[in-house]
Amino acid sequence: MDSREKETLSVAEQAAEWLLIMETPTDRERAAFWKWLSASPLHVREVLLAAKTRQRLRAFDASHQLELETLIASARSHISQIGEPAVPPSRTRRMRWAYAAAACLAVLMVAAASYLTISDARHTYSTELGQQLVLELDDGSVVYLNTDSRMKVRFSDQARDVYLNAGQALFEVKHDRSRPFRVHTATSIVEAVGTQFDVRVVGNRTLVSVVEGVVRVLKPQMDAVTVDMPAPRLAAGEVASVDADGQFERKSKVDVAAIAAWKQQRLIFNEETLGWIADEFNRYNAAPRLKVEGDALRSRRFNGVFNAHSPESLVEYLQQDPSLEFERKEGEIVIRAVTSASVEQP
């Protein structure tokens, strides 16, 4: 076996071990797993490869309502049938059956994906709050669908059309000159041939960020466009916003690494308001919801990086400020200034 094969094998081993650990992870292990997963495309690919192979087995009925807890429980029972005692595994190397466990979990993940996303034959995919989805389209392009998003895919011989009805998605587009790849939202069409870019629907605006290559941003009525039609172009690191009136606004250059950070469930803030930051956490977490009261407080700006699932870390930081008070209600943390003037009456 050549060295490249060896390298792949060792990543496969790691993938298997991680899936095993992620059955009953500690907070530290969860964080470490996601860090590992996002460290290299090879890591993701390894998981995808296993999933793809096993998918052909069709061992699971996609129409069943598969709860994640059930899936994990089922994975455990499968593992014990393979010959492992039913006690929780220690964190030592058990490669032989770790492979089986990984494959098994991969199948379960695919089954869950099917249930979550294949709601009809028109290729509609959606995610619930706090979920993300990675899918490979039949042209080899890869789509990362972020939390609380809805997307429809329609490919033809002339074009590859994707309709992002809600939420956010990152596209790694396979090059195909004969079939432009277009992402449609209510306010714009983003067209690429082969590149990597992010589209997000925020209220009635569309935000487009380019990681790699160039995209053209077209208006919806320009659907039947030709290649030479004039349209604003965005290059790597550029971000633009298109509002409901079709108003195109180019923003300053951003760090390319920051655009795709949500794939690692990381939130990156560059001079963002506390109101926006709280809303970002709320995109990923059903509880606790963060509610920032008062315009003055909502418009305070911060820089920083958080795990999307650690709203409590933001609260912990803000609690250092003696001028703020915090009220914990059912599934919600209200943050407001202490001064009596800014306390809103119920």
Partner 1 sequence: MESRKRTFIPIAVLALALIQSTSGEPAAAAAPVEYHIASQPLAQALNAWAQQSGLQLIWPAVDDVARTRSRALYGRYQPMQALTLLLQDSGLRYSVLKEGTVTLSDSSADGPTAVPVNGSRR
Residues 59-88 that bind partner 1 (CB under 8 A): 68
Does residue 328 bind partner 1 (CB under 8 A)?
no
Binding positions for partner 1, 176-195, rule CB under 8 A: none
Give the containing element (helix H, strand E) for 207: strand 205-212
In the list 317, 326, 328, 338, the residue contacting partner 1 (rule: CB under 8 A) is 317
CB of 126 to partner 1, least distance (A): 11
CB of 317 to partner 1, least distance (A): 5
CB of 32 to partner 1, least distance (A): 8
161 Cβ neighbours under 8 A, 6+ residues apart? 153, 154, 155, 182, 184
Binding positions for partner 1, 101-160, rule CB under 8 A: 106, 109-110, 112-114, 116-118, 121, 123, 125, 130-138, 147, 153, 155
Count, residues near partner 1 per rule CB under 8 A? 71
Does residue 48 bind partner 1 (CB under 8 A)?
yes
Angle separating helix axes 274-284 and 311-318, nearest 10 degrees: 150
Residue 118 CB-density burial (10 A; 0-12 exposed, 13-18 middle, 19+ buried): middle
In the list 295, 316, 327, 332, the residue contacting partner 1 (rule: CB under 8 A) is 316
294 Cβ neighbours under 8 A, 6+ residues apart? 336, 337, 342, 344
CB of 263 to partner 1, least distance (A): 8
- Tell me if the bond preceding 288 is cis, omega within 30° of 0: yes
Q: Which residue has the tokens 């001064």?
A: 339
CB of 42 to partner 1, least distance (A): 14
First to last CA, the chain: 70
Closer CB to partner 1, residue 218 or residue 314? Answer: 314
In the list 300, 324, 325, 342, the residue contacting partner 1 (rule: CB under 8 A) is 300
Closer CB to partner 1, residue 229 or residue 257? Answer: 257
Does residue 302 bind partner 1 (CB under 8 A)?
yes
Here the tokens at position 138 are 């039949």
Give the Cα separation of 70 and 55 in Å (integer). 19
CB of 205 to partner 1, least distance (A): 22
Give the Cα separation of 169 and 196 in Å (integer). 11
Closer CB to partner 1, residue 117 or residue 187? Answer: 117
CB of 218 to partner 1, least distance (A): 24
DSSP conformation class of 185:
-
Closer CB to partner 1, residue 184 or residue 216? Answer: 184
Binding positions for partner 1, 195-234, rule CB under 8 A: none
CB of 8 to partner 1, least distance (A): 17
Nearest residue to 167 (alpha-carbon basis) of 195, 135, 137, 126: 126
Q: Which stretch binds partner 1 (CB under 8 A): 33-41, 96-104, 174-182, 227-235?
A: 33-41
Give the Cα separation of 53 and 59 in Å (integer). 12
Does residue 305 bind partner 1 (CB under 8 A)?
yes
Q: Which stretch binds partner 1 (CB under 8 A): 50-58, 170-178, 214-222, 334-342?
A: 50-58
Give the Cα separation of 136 and 148 in Å (integer). 19
CB of 309 to partner 1, least distance (A): 5
Q: Which residue has the tokens 């995919």?
A: 125
Residue 151 CB-density burial (10 A; 0-12 exposed, 13-18 middle, 19+ buried): buried
Give the Cα separation of 77 and 102 in Å (integer). 13
